[in-house]
Chains A and B, each alone.
Chain A
Amino acid sequence: EDQVTQSPEALRLQEGESSSLNCSYTVSGLRGLFWYRQDPGKGPEFLFTLYSAGEEKEKERLKATLTKKESFLHITAPKPEDSATYLCAVQARELTGGGNKLTFGTGTQLKVEL
């Protein structure tokens, strides 16, 4: 069974204090790993898709990396507006009838303080 584990569950940073979020996965045949940001009471906002080990993607203060067993979301010099829950999800197989099934981790709740 596909499993996705995120750590830490919660993280509190001072503004400008860089850190990393971890997403460990156990799947057979990874087809894609996705990072989303979710604000309270809102839908997940897509950030990155990573396809293969060694790949990296960047967007503003965020950088996502992927190895064969885990992914990291690095946050450089965070600001209070980066406060949100960050969700990791994996796609491990095609669905017979179409579409794809994402297996989500439980998320990391990030709080950035002034």
Chain B
Amino acid sequence: DTEVTQTPKHLVMGMTNKKSLKCEQHMGHRAMYWYKQKAKKPPELMFVYSYEKLSINESVPSRFSPECPNSSLLNLHLHALQPEDSALYLCASSQERDFWKTQYFGPGTRLLVL
């Protein structure tokens, strides 16, 4: 089973709202990722967690706040977003101990900021 689940599937929020995106995997993977993907563009890495610790923050604005409560869960807290933050937000995970570390992606959350 290589399933990564994400909720919600769609989200519409105003610029003053606070919302959270959730991601879950039960493959025993110890690395989890958040990506942002705009239309007709490839995914862009935002954050990497390894063993529940933030490993990489790709200079993402502070209005995006990641959280990894345990090895199976990854959240992305959103606050005071801008319309240009509208995109498909993808979660992925990989087996930390595998040298080649194939990343498996979830279905994404389609976010619209009004």
Which A residues are within 8 Å of any B CB, using their own CB? 31-32, 34, 36, 41-46, 49, 51, 87, 89, 91, 95-102, 104-107
Contact = CB atoms under 8 A, between A and B. Distances in A.
B43 A104 contact: yes
B108 A97 contact: no
Contacts of A95: 48, 50, 55-56
Contacts of A106: 41-42
Contacts of B41: 106
User: Would you call the interface of chain B mostly helix, strand, loop, or mixed?
Assistant: strand
Contacts of A32: 100-102
B108 A49 contact: no
A98 B105 contact: no
Given A41-B108, A49-B100, A98-B51, 4 more contacts: A43-B90, A98-B30, A99-B48, A99-B56
Contacts, number: 83
Nearest to A36: B105
Given A97-B53, A101-B45, A41 B90 contact: no
Given A41-B108, A99-B33, A105 B2 contact: no
Contacts of A98: 30-31, 48, 50-51, 53, 55, 96
A44 B90 CA distance: 9
B49 A99 contact: yes
B79 interface: no
B94 interface: yes
A34 B104 CA distance: 11
8 contacts: A32-B101, A43-B105, A87-B43, A96-B55, A99-B56, A99-B96, A101-B48, A105-B42
Interface string B67-101: 00000000000000000000010101010100111
